[in-house]
Every structure is written in C-alpha cells, then in structure tokens.
Amino acid sequence: MSLSELNLFPLCLGGNVFGWTADREASFAVLDAYAEAGGNFVDTADSYSHWIPGHVGGESETVVGEWMASRRNRDQIMVATKVGMLPDRAGLSAANIRAAVEDSLRRLGTDHIDLYWAHIDDAEVPLEETLGAFDALVREGKIRNIGASNYEAARLAEALEISEREGLARYGVVQQQYNLVERGYEGALRDVVAGAGLTSTPYYGLARGFLTGKYRPGVDVDSPRAGKASAYLATERGPRILDALDKVAAAHGAVPATIALAWLAAQPTVAAPIASARNVEQLRPLLAVAEVELTEDELALLEEASR
C-alpha cells in the first residue's frame, strides 16, 4: 500500500499527547476539531505515554478508542498504531507482536488496525520472523497494512526483499524524523522509499515545536520539549530558517508552523506529515496546511535557508 493511494487528509494527527499533556477532555476536543475539518488519519502507539509516573502505556490508544466509540466514527478514521517500544511489550518477535496487537485492539475498541507500525528496527529478531507475524495478522484481518518506523535504508531494503521473496506482507510506508532543521531523510533512506514506491509520514515535522516560531532569543516557553527545541536557536541555521518561515508566512497570511508543514508536505515521497496538538488553539495552524500551496520561489527560499 502507498498512502498516496488513499483519500487521506494532508495532515496526520499525532496522538502522542493524548492522555499525557492533553487530558481526555482536551484530547476529545482536538480530535473533534480535526475530524470536523475533514481529518481522517490518526497516529498513536502502544508505548504512549509509559514514561509518565503512574502510566503503563496505551493511554493514548485508550483515548482514541473511547473517542471513536463515543462519536461512532470508526469507519471514517484511518487508525495507525505501533508495536515494539513499550517496555512490557518490547521488540518485534512473533510472540510479542501477537500479544501486543491484541492489547492494542482492545484499547482501541476495534477489530482491526488500518496501519500497524514496527515502531523500531529490532536487530535481535530476524526480519523473516517479524514480517511473518505481520503477514499472519494481515491474513486474519486484524491489521490492514504495515509500516516501518525508525528503519535505516539498508534494513528497509532487506525487509522489502524478504517480503518479495517469501510472499509476505510488505512495508508500504515509513515514518522517520524529517523537518526543515533535520533533513537526514534526504539520502539513502528516501532513495529506497522512492525506488520501491513507498511513501512517508514524517514525525517531528515541527522540530519539537521549534518551527512554530515561538522559540526566539530571550523567550521562555512552557513546554516539556522546550530544552531540545530551543537548542536549534544556538545554531546558525536555526534563526535563518525562522526568518525564511516568517517571510513566507507573511505572504500567505499564515503562521510559521503552517508553512513548515506545507514545505514538508511538498517534499518527494511525503504523503502526510504528522503533527500533534495539546488543544484546539494549537491545532488550527496545523489544519491550515490543507489550504496552503507554496510557490516554487517560496520552496527555494526555504530550501536555501535550511541548507
């Protein structure tokens, strides 16, 4: 499967904040606003948000599942979740995948997952075993499609070759960090993705919030990601990118976050960037990516600034 073949909203709503920095009520409000704008692609993981004291993981899946049940809209939402990084369900062995998918299905309140991600590349488990487990679940109808998150180019190519040779379910989409300040995807990994006809849904599309423009010299931001985001200000490129974003945003009557996501959406192989919001106010500029089309000159300006 290539996500470009589906009628998906150009922004994938990240669920990492649900049950963490957005409580159930706030999460429902964000999900409602996203759906009302035409959004239909929600990405979560079984490991969200195990890092919080008192949490065990799966909190985000539970929120998404309860929201779909209350809104009776399961058939209108493409749900993606992941396996491999929850401490109690770590790795990509066949046994772990089998146990983890049942946990995720229960929390999501559904009988199938539209896109099931390998959250990591588990080098300790043969790719044949992992792909065989995914293939069995596809055949059973419990998952519809599979994706590879955080894979390097060589391992992705190897996985695709194994699927072809063994007649197993094939990764159709990748997920990796990619944004105007982190452009490592533009190399061997993107070459494999393009060559195999895959697509990408990048995470950290706003560089942990830096590309929203709220991180400026002398400005304190109240966010759990503030430390890592503000570090970009210490580089030569960071302020230069913000300046270019400001210029393009002004031309569109938009804000930097919208432009940063529009740049990402315009890149080769990208089907839909992933971004999350703790509240509806944060969501609005993300949704606006569906309405912004950058000119060649604007793309070139951003390209030059981010080199």
Residue 15 domain-assigned (yes or no): yes
**Arithmetic mean of pLDDT, 258-277:** 97
Coil vs helix vs strand at 235:
coil
> Beta strand pairing status for 199-200 and 171-175?
parallel
Residue 188 domain-assigned (yes or no): no
Q: Is the pLDDT of residue 122 over 60?
A: yes
Residue 115 domain-assigned (yes or no): yes
Residue 52 domain-assigned (yes or no): yes
Under DSSP, the state recorded for 52 is S
- Residue ranges of the alpha helices (H) in the chain? 24-36, 59-71, 94-108, 127-140, 153-166, 188-195, 226-230, 237-252, 256-265, 280-287, 296-305
pLDDT of residue 234: 83
Q: Which residues are catalytic?
A: 48
Q: Is the pLDDT of residue 138 over 60?
A: yes
Tell me the per-residue pLDDT of 199-223, one tens digit each, with 9 for 90 and over.
999 999 999 889 999 877 766 666 6
Mean pLDDT of the chain: 94
Percentage of the chain beyond pLDDT 90 is 89
Q: Is the pLDDT of residue 116 over 80?
A: yes
Tell me the per-residue pLDDT of 280-296, one tens digit each, with 9 for 90 and over.
999 999 999 999 999 99
Greater confidence, 297 or 220?
297
pLDDT of residue 182: 96
Tell me the per-residue pLDDT of 49-102, one tens digit each, with 9 for 90 and over.
999 999 999 999 999 999 999 999 999 999 999 999 999 999 999 999 999 999
Q: Into how many domains does the chain fold?
A: 1
Greater confidence, 10 or 222?
10
pLDDT of residue 216: 79
Residue 51 domain-assigned (yes or no): yes
Q: How confident is the model at residue 226 (pLDDT cuts 50, 70, 90)?
A: low
The single residue listed with the structure tokens 């399961």 is 74
Helical axes 280-287 vs 256-265, angle rounded to 10°: 50
Residue 286 domain-assigned (yes or no): no
Tell me the per-residue pLDDT of 96-106, one tens digit each, with 9 for 90 and over.
999 999 999 99
- Residue 150: CB partners within 8 Å, gap ≥ 6? 119, 120, 121, 175, 176
pLDDT of residue 217: 73
Q: Is the pLDDT of residue 32 over 90?
A: yes
- Residue 167: CB partners within 8 Å, gap ≥ 6? none
Coil vs helix vs strand at 131:
helix
pLDDT of residue 289: 96
Residue 297 domain-assigned (yes or no): no
Residue 240 domain-assigned (yes or no): no
Domain assignment of residue 110, given as a range? 3-175
Of the listed ranges 149-158, 235-244, 258-267, the one predicted with least confidence: 235-244
Q: How confident is the model at residue 152 (pLDDT cuts 50, 70, 90)?
A: very high
CATH of the domain at 37: 3.20.20.100
